Chains A and B, each alone.
Chain A
């Protein structure tokens, strides 16, 4: 199946303090905390397909970790159908 992304983000993962405020802020639910750790030993957000470029993550982040883009044309991602698309960090 395909998932459409209207936007995307750059994430300054080294700056992230692992507060996880971006996770519930993301209405399309396409952010989840990583299993990997950054240089501070903290988890950081990863981006899944489906971003709308709404800026919510950017707004709620206390550490200025997000840069947000909106695509000129939506981008389609192929996603395995036997895996749930919605994920949360907990």
Chain B
């Protein structure tokens, strides 16, 4: 390796002395603090940034209520400057339902992990979607129960190593993963269902657009909207931090496939005409 100390390391402590425009802030305006104790390389704070920027861009900060599940991301709630309700593990969708019915002009979102939503709360999210509830459920999927130490969840993919599937998830012994976004998309009450990820800048940008479209779907009243965001959990995956993005892309993303599955109440790419049962207008 060459003598790296000969390269000119630039000052990154002060703002630039040459005239410049700031194109990116340390954190979104709706984020109160930056100090959190989530693991190095965790994808969840990245997803949080996306979420808050979208609320800000849509100008909905004063009309937003978030309902938070229980997982590592719960600790991030002290950073979120919108009105929140803390729910029980798996139970955010029903809480969001009651809140939305009383505050129909507000943007309602849930923020839940895969253990929360697809294990404990599977029936809640499916019922809320089937009902066409005008809320947006956001799933942070890292394929493990991060907060309790990295055990298998309903979304852990075959072969994935977790604390209690240390040889890799086995179909015979542990069963198969649930592809939740696919299930949600098939329900008549769902207007928008998509999967994104945060493993690189490009996917983060695409996921941001998905969250925007989900929120817009809600504000139009086009039924239930859903965004699954694959996030890195190098701790739960037993891999070096820097390998998180590649692991996500190579292990999880081929199974929990990225992209829009349903938009404007219609399944994407199938040609099937599955319109909203509520009769709400569908604009893509």
Report which A residues bind B (CB closer than 8 A): 5, 7-13, 15, 17-21, 23-25, 32, 42, 46-49, 51, 53-56, 58-73, 75, 77-80, 83-85, 87
Secondary structure class of chain B's binding surface, majority of residues: loop
Q: Complex formed: what's the CA distance from A84 to B1 in Å? A: 9
Given A56-B201, A63-B45: A46 and B16 within 8 A (CB)? no
Interchain CB contact under 8 A, A62 and B35: no
| Residues in B whose Cβ lies below 8 Å from that of A23 | 242
Report which B residues bind A (CB closer than 8 A): 2-4, 6-10, 12-16, 18-27, 31, 34-36, 38-46, 49, 198, 200-201, 204-205, 241-242, 244-245
- Residue in contact with B8 in the complex, picked from A20, A49, A62, A66, CB distance below 8 Å: A49
Q: Complex formed: what's the CA distance from A75 to B26 in Å? A: 23
Interchain CB contact under 8 A, A25 and B10: no
Interchain CB contact under 8 A, B20 and A71: yes
Q: A45: shortest Cβ distance to chain B, in Å?
A: 8
Q: Complex formed: what's the CA distance from A21 to B23 in Å? A: 20
- A sample of 29 cross-chain residue pairs with beta-carbon separation below 8 angstroms, ordered by A number, consists of A5-B10, A7-B23, A8-B10, A8-B20, A10-B13, A11-B13, A19-B40, A21-B241, A23-B242, A46-B10, A46-B12, A48-B10, A49-B8, A51-B10, A55-B201, A59-B201, A59-B204, A60-B245, A62-B41, A63-B34, A63-B45, A64-B31, A67-B26, A69-B16, A70-B21, A72-B21, A79-B7, A80-B7, A83-B6
Interchain CB contact under 8 A, A11 and B41: no
Q: A40: shortest Cβ distance to chain B, in Å?
A: 10
Interchain CB contact under 8 A, A73 and B19: yes
| Residues in B whose Cβ lies below 8 Å from that of A69 | 15-16, 20-23
Given A71-B20, A73-B18: A12 and B241 within 8 A (CB)? no
Interchain CB contact under 8 A, B245 and A83: no
Report the number of A-B residue pairs with Cβ-Cβ less than 8 Å: 144
| Residues in A whose Cβ lies below 8 Å from that of B13 | 10-11, 13
- Residue in contact with B2 in the complex, picked from A51, A61, A77, A83, CB distance below 8 Å: A83
Q: Complex formed: what's the CA distance from A68 to B46 in Å? A: 16
Q: Complex formed: what's the CA distance from A13 to B11 in Å? A: 12
Interchain CB contact under 8 A, A62 and B46: yes
Interchain CB contact under 8 A, A87 and B7: yes
Interchain CB contact under 8 A, A25 and B201: yes
Interchain CB contact under 8 A, A62 and B22: no
Interchain CB contact under 8 A, A71 and B18: yes
Q: Complex formed: what's the CA distance from A54 to B204 in Å? A: 13
B242 closest partner in A (C-beta): A20
| Residues in B whose Cβ lies below 8 Å from that of A54 | 201
The 3 closest A-B pairs by CB, nearest first: A68-B24, A17-B40, A19-B40
Interchain CB contact under 8 A, A72 and B18: yes
Q: B141: shortest Cβ distance to chain A, in Å?
A: 16
Interchain CB contact under 8 A, B23 and A53: yes
